[in-house]
Amino acid sequence: MKVAVSGLNNTDNPAPGIPVIKSLQEKNSIVGFAYDPNEPGNYMNMCEKVYMMPYPSLGFEELKNRLLYVQEKEGLEAIIPNLDAELPLYIKFQDEIEAMGIKLCLPSLENFELRNKNKLDKLSKKLNMTYPKTYEVSSLRELEECTKESNFPLMIKGNYYKAYKAHNLESAIESFYKISNEWGFPVLVQEVVKGEELNLVGVGDGKGELKGAVAIKKLTTTEIGKIWTGVTIQNEKLMEIAKDFVKDTKWRGPFELECIVSMNNVFMIEINPRFPAWVYFATEIGVNLPQMVVDIMQDKDIKSQLEYPQNKMYVRFTGELVTDFTDFIKLFSTKEL
């Protein structure tokens, strides 16, 4: 398959693109979708070709025109979009994109909305999980009120993205403004729950079956909160939740569950409708989730893979490369490389 992959940033704030490409490159040919000529993935020689893409904020018309252009030149067969900002557009217009002969493996709009944090409450109950006490606030007055009921620290979160921990009212207000300016209202205020933060990456086939999943614990994170080292874990309860989640929603495509797990409870914190940037960890230990996504796109019958070795450790490091400045200039001026 000729697959286009976005999210080629690979700095200390890595996007999932390069890990996804590393998982796919053996069996597929790869086209890179970049939003900035500075993205390191443009120069790592892992893509046959790199195209600059219009910002998602420009709307579907711009995306469609660009896809038509790339489609004509490359005969693209599939796209795996990996960035939060572009997912709403790809999910909402997946029928139109599929009609261009480009396969996608994404959740339905309804399922995408489900991860709207103010709906996670209901979903958590369905999955026998606990959802931390959460308030929806749309004004400073409401923000102040809920800080009287619940004690600091509190998480201040956007409805879809962004979360900041606040230890006092001032920092809560600052985060409230930061989030509402970018993502609008409501802003969520959530009690901080105690337990281990565990993450699970999985792929659903759209028919209710969890095709593959790997759970990890992040051991250390970098200064900006990205995983640095991690270890595989086996948590029956978390795996059951992932299975129920996929069964219940008929989730199609990749997802990441962020949970806080204590001895008795699993708290749902967030569902991301895409691969995390550490997805290559799963590939390395034998669960190639990006390849599963490509197989699901082709309606291939694949067997599910929920077993993986214990005690595997993940270590992220930075690398460097030297390329010709003319490549950058070419990508900058012609929008392709």
Partner 1 sequence: MSKIKYQKPTINKIDFAMASKYGSPMKTQKIRSEIDGVKVSDLTQKYGSPLFVFSQRKMEELYHNLHSAFSSRYPDVTFGWSYKTNYLNEICKVYHDLGSIAEVVSEFEYQKARALGIEGKDIIFNGPYKPYADLKIAVREGAKIHVDNLFELDDLEKIADELNMKIPVAIRINMDTGIYPQWSRFGFNYESGEAYEAVKRIYDGGKVYLNGLHTHIGTFMLDSNAYKVATIKIMQLKEQVERDFKSQIDYIDLGGGFASKANLKGVYQSADVIVPTPDDYAEAITNVIYEMNKSENLPKLFLETGRGMIDEAGFLLTSVHGYKRFPDAKKGYILDAGVNLLYTSTWFNYNIELDKRYEGDNEASILNGPLCMNIDVIEESIMLPPLNRGTILSVSPVGAYNYTQAMQFIRYKPAVVLIDKDGQAKLIKDVDDLGTVNHKEA
Partner 2 sequence: MQTIDQLVLDENNMAFHPMMGNSYQLNAIAREILTLAKHHKSKDEIMEELLEKYDVSKNELFIDVSDFFSKLKVYGLA
Shortest spacing between CB 58 and partner 1, in angstroms: 6
Q: Determine contact, residues 51/33, Cβ cutoff 8 Å.
A: yes
Number of neighbouring beta carbons within 10 Å of residue 237: 15
What is the rounded CA–CA span in Å between residue 20 and residue 16?
6
Q: Which of residues 164-183 bind partner 1 (CB under 8 A)?
A: 181-183
Nearest 5°: phi and psi at 16?
Answer: -75, -10
> In whole angstroms, what is the distance from residue 226 CA to residue 11 CA?
11
Size of the site for partner 2 (CB under 8 A): 5
Binding of partner 2 by 217 (CB under 8 A):
no
| Residue 66 near partner 1 by CB under 8 A | yes
Q: What residues contact residue 38 under an 8 Å CB cut-off, 6+ apart? A: none
Cβ contact 16:276 at 8 Å? yes
62 binds, among partner 1, partner 2, none (CB under 5 to 8 A by kind): partner 1
Retrieve residue 17's tokens: 């693109």
| Nearest-approach distance from CB 26 to partner 1, in angstroms | 30
Q: Rule CB under 8 A: is residue 184 a binding residue for partner 1?
A: yes
Q: Please, which of residues 88-107 interact with partner 1 by CB under 8 A?
A: 88-89, 92-93
Residue 85 binding partner 1, by CB under 8 A = yes
User: Are the CB atoms for 166 and 157 separated by under 8 Å?
Assistant: no
Residues 11, 48, 59, 177: which binds partner 1 (CB under 8 A)?
A: 59
Q: How many residues bind partner 1 (CB under 8 A)?
A: 34
Using CB under 8 A, which of 333, 335, 336, 337 touches partner 2?
A: 333
**Considering CB distances under 5 to 8 angstroms, the limit depending on partner class, which of partner 2, partner 1, none binds residue 191?**
none
Q: Does 330 bind partner 2 (CB under 8 A)?
A: yes
Q: In what order do the strands lie in the sheet with 210-221?
A: 266-272, 252-261, 196-205, 210-221, 227-233, 313-315
Note the residues at the interface with partner 1 (CB under 8 A): 35-38, 52-62, 65-66, 85, 88-89, 92-93, 136, 138-139, 181-186, 329, 332, 335
